[in-house]
A and B are shown apart, each in its own frame.
Chain A
Amino acid sequence: MLNNKKDDIFLSRWITGELSPEELTEFESHPEYEYYKKIMIGSDMLELSAEYDVDTALSKIKQVKNTSAQHSKPILRLWPYATAAASIAIILGIFFFNLDQSYTTHYGELVTVILPDGSEMILNAKSEASYNKKKWETNRTVSLQGEAYFKVKKGSKFTVSTKNGDVTVLGTEFNVQSYDTFFEAICYEGKVRVTHSNDQEILTAGKAYRNIHNMPSEKWTSDELKPSWVDKVSSFRSTPIKYVFNELEEQYNIKIKIDHIDTSTIYTGTFPNNDKEIALRTVFSTLGMQYKILQDNTTVVVEK
């Protein structure tokens, strides 16, 4: 038993209750028994008090993961399609020769990019911008989907090209917002030209232009010196709530579910980009709407 050199797992069998009744009775009469019993009771009283927040740990991993993801992912995607390798090579070739530089921001993320001429571009959350490195000297053009703020160095023509229209400048500071059906440009310094289908507008400092699908274009004067989102506040001026909800979704990676709500309701106001609770409360209380966050922590259901 205990002193039996051959039975070197006796105690492990005892502590998990695997001994036969005879073995147990024999052990219980052994002088050592009470000491082992104490160890068992004592250790069964122990517990690990350190909580582990799995979600936080996972999101930390994702931060690291996302920065290295570009390197690992293409490898796995290419393998199953090895037969198509030739065409992929051509596409990559074009990509590399053009030296297209692109930037993508995720939910709630801001990225500042210094362009080759020293001009500055700040990308707001959930936006995408790219430019051609090689042609940059002769053609300062940035393609944009989403929202960005530009501080342009003096020089040749600088164009921000979006699918809704172009904004062209000669050294200035301005903000461009271009989503599916929403196009807005605000000039903070200097002078810019906005082209939107057949519309052409010259904006001087403090002037803003906006076109929303199915609504007449409008121009107004802004007294801000730079867009508020650069300081982590989203602000809206008579904007249909549809776009306000979009912005909430992009800043906080949430889904807003709206039923029977007129999304053309106009909203004027701000919300912080770094506090979800306050942001949601601000927007929905202004609109006089009730909302609740579902279990998954990402779906927000809005009720009138």
Chain B
Amino acid sequence: MPENKVSICNEQVFDQFFKSHAKLLRNYLYYKFGDMDQAEDLVQDSFIKLWNNCSKVSLDKAKSYVYTIATNLGISSTRHQKVKFKYQNYVTQHTTDSTNESPEFIILEKEYLEKLKSAIADLSERQREVFLLSRIEKKTYKEIAELSNVSVKAIEKLMHKALVSLRKKIGNI
């Protein structure tokens, strides 16, 4: 059974797959739903589902499988309790040493960053997910499109809209 060797049912394959995808999935879910505990639970639940259905899911479909399962589980659980994006605890600005290199370096006041963060929190789920995957995870639009199974064009539109709404929210400061 050659195809069995790369099956998700093979424990080593499963472990490897988990190790290479779990973290980004967690971050993705966090950006989308805004709750870190929930994101980690969803990762666990979706991977257990993957394991239980490992014979039906091929390795090349496994990634979109866990993303779909986790997203659906997340949507049905957030419907009950509409949480405000709680990212202030985790999304922080890194120490400014690297940004000094930019010739157009602009000193951003703490207040500005707080305002930006709360504007991000107010974005729609999809816009925030795309915006943060692009800005924090440095994912290309193509990669983001693959994660959520939509076209690159759709992601680019979401990103554009995200920037426009951030601009509106922040105002002229």
Contact = CB atoms under 8 A, between A and B. Distances in A.
Interface of A: 8-13, 15-16, 32, 35-39, 41-50, 52, 54, 57-58, 60-61, 64-65, 68, 71-73, 75-76, 79-80
Contacts of A15: 134, 159, 163
Nearest to A47: B94
A43 B92 contact: no
B51 interface: yes
Contacts, number: 135
Contacts of A47: 91-94, 136
Contacts of A8: 157, 160-161
Given A9-B157, A54-B19, A58-B18, A72 B54 contact: yes
A152 B132 CA distance: 62
B170 interface: yes
A44 B85 CA distance: 19
- How big is chain B's contact interface, by range? 35 or more
A41 B99 contact: yes
B51 A39 contact: no
Contact of A37 (B7, B27, B106): B106
Tell me whether chain A's interface is mostly helix, strand or loop, or mixed: helix
A44 B99 contact: yes
B116 interface: yes
B141 A12 contact: yes
Contacts of A32: 167
Nearest to A14: B163
B131 interface: yes
B9 interface: yes
Nearest to B48: A64
Nearest to B43: A57
Contacts of B108: 38, 41-42, 45
Nearest to B39: A50
A184 B141 CA distance: 65
Nearest first, the 3 A-B pairs at minimum CB distance are A12-B159, A9-B156, A76-B55
Given A45-B99, A49-B92, A61 B48 contact: yes
A36 B167 CA distance: 7
Contacts of B92: 46-47, 49
A10 B106 CA distance: 23
A41 B93 contact: no
Contact of B160 (A10, A52, A73): A10
B99 A46 contact: no
B97 to A, nearest CB: 11
Given A16-B141, A46-B91, A57 B40 contact: yes
Contacts of A13: 156
B55 A11 contact: no
Given A52-B23, A58-B22, A61-B51, 4 more contacts: A38-B108, A44-B99, A61-B48, A68-B52
B116 A12 contact: no
